[in-house]
Structure 1
């Protein structure tokens, strides 16, 4: 039995999403233990995340050989569905009901999107050199604006860096498709390869900065903007679209709304894990004592002077 190109693209994309999810969890844990990107570079765990990201990126590029951008990119959102419970497991926390609902909505939305984008045909068109340069310049400008915004608004720094990473990664995927669909040896191919690697590295470093603010929110925004950026290019410049006419478009919009709502639920922070209390030597829990002994004033009703009452007696 021969696999269809679309089925093969979906299968490879699923494995790629798992690699990205594992990398995100490692990056977030590394970011929590280091002061910045330079500190992360000195950690062996960070280089494991680089290897996982590289494997996910390689599989993603292979998937783009068999499926269109509008199909392959939304599957990247599954990395969030994997990363959230995996992050909870590593941090020894329980995944909340809200987060399970978010994963269910994300999967439902992706299913709707896949229904109308799985055309059954491998891509046969890529960006022309002029279009490629225009898209790359627009992406550089967008990333620069977002990084500048992050520098001026520290409260939104993590989300701004995540948005910049999502744009860079999405454009990197768009350019990578030119390398796998009808590649030819020319100066333009070399330029595409350099730009693809450049955007991938920038996206990785920006995501590391983003995860200093936690995993859920930055990963959710990055996961959304990555496929939105690439799919927008595919629809606007490569003529990719949805099946079933207006019905397909409405189904895609409904799926997008469900996925966005699911990602929003997944981005809500979890309560920190509760440290176990002290135990007696026999293994039973000790009762928790107040942090400090209450003073006489705290135990005395307001307006009652104990010392004065004693002197009066």
Structure 2
């Protein structure tokens, strides 16, 4: 069952990577990467369907095997996404790009593995939910504002980071809705940050630096969910010296790989 869970998670990562690459291709080709305009493009919708399928496979994998096996497989979507996106744009990814992506992947896996699984059902109060949504909205707006004055690679990264924070907040609310105690209005609170995150992500994709945008998304989304889970839901964090050392090393690898990816040639020359 563990091998099956790993295979299903790997397949889900492939679907997610293909979907992200398709949406980036269409966002980069659009004169204005707004959601209403992109929703008229069949290939962008196909990318969305692939992402939904990848998410479904990831959930299925979690039902078949432990989190410590499934989550690292999900991170591998970065290694799938770069070659697919490059092929769509008619070029090959350079070795330096793939090497940097591999470094980021190793760092993300390290960060995922040191986080202990939750031991209790999550509970979120109305004030806690308002704090969660407020912090996520403020961070996304701040990232979007700073991105206006940033160079193209960092603009893509900042917009994708804002999207990742919003997705992380959405994931936290969804976890409470699925497994914990919640208020009825939480059902209405989930769609707005998810839609805003999708819009910000398409703006990031349109810039052309797909490697930076996708890496920033892959990093900010889970870290935001982990932070909100620890602060608002009381979920555990790594406390031992070994876990802290691994987390620090993984963070350093992720940061170094991200900086290296920011220096690579963009997929689309604007």
Q: TM-score, normalised by structure 1?
A: 0.70
Cα pair 1:77 1:224 within 8 Å, conserved: no
Q: What RMSD in Å do the two structures reach over aligned CA positions?
A: 3.3
1:259 offset after TM fit, Å?
2.4
* Structure possessing the higher radius of gyration over alpha carbons: 1
Cα pair 1:64 1:72 within 8 Å, conserved: yes
Cα pair 1:16 1:57 within 8 Å, conserved: yes
1:145 offset after TM fit, Å?
2.5
In the TM superposition, 1:128-143 aligns within 5 A as 128-129=124-125, 130-143=127-140
Cα pair 1:146 1:160 within 8 Å, conserved: yes
Q: 1:15 to 1:231 in 2, by over 3 A?
A: farther
Residue aligning to 1:232? 227
Q: 1:40 to 1:175 in 2, by over 3 A?
A: same
Residue aligning to 2:104? 106
* Distance in 2 separating the partners of 1:138 and 1:196: 15
* Distance in 2 separating the partners of 1:59 and 1:169: 18
1:171 to 169, 172, 180: 169
1:264 to 256, 259, 269: 259
Residue aligning to 1:160? 158
Residue aligning to 1:192? 186
1:250 to 227, 245, 250: 245
Residue aligning to 1:144? 141
In the TM superposition, 1:75-114 aligns within 5 A as 76-114=74-112
* Corresponding residue SS for 1:241: coil
Q: 1:11 to 1:255 in 2, by over 3 A?
A: farther
Q: 1:32 to 1:266 in 2, by over 3 A?
A: same
* Distance in 2 separating the partners of 1:127 and 1:63: 25
Cα pair 1:146 1:163 within 8 Å, conserved: yes
Residue aligning to 2:14? 18
* Distance in 2 separating the partners of 1:234 and 1:73: 16
Further displaced range: 130-139 or 260-269 = 260-269
Write out per-residue CA displacement over residues 4-25 of structure 1, whole angstroms, 9 at most, x where no aligned residue: 9xx95x6665444333211211
Further displaced range: 154-163 or 125-134 = 154-163
- What runs of 5+ residues in structure 2 fail to find an aligned partner? none
Residue aligning to 2:214? 219
- What count of residue pairs does the alignment treat as equivalent? 261
- What runs of 5+ residues in structure 1 fail to find an aligned partner? 274-313
* Distance in 2 separating the partners of 1:59 and 1:174: 19
User: Greater helix percent: which structure?
Assistant: 2
1:207 to 201, 204, 209: 201
Q: 1:172 to 1:122 in 2, by over 3 A?
A: same
1:196 offset after TM fit, Å?
2.5
1:42 offset after TM fit, Å?
1.9
1:251 offset after TM fit, Å?
1.1
* Distance in 1 separating the partners of 2:199 and 2:107: 29
* Distance in 2 separating the partners of 1:198 and 1:14: 29
1:57 offset after TM fit, Å?
4.0
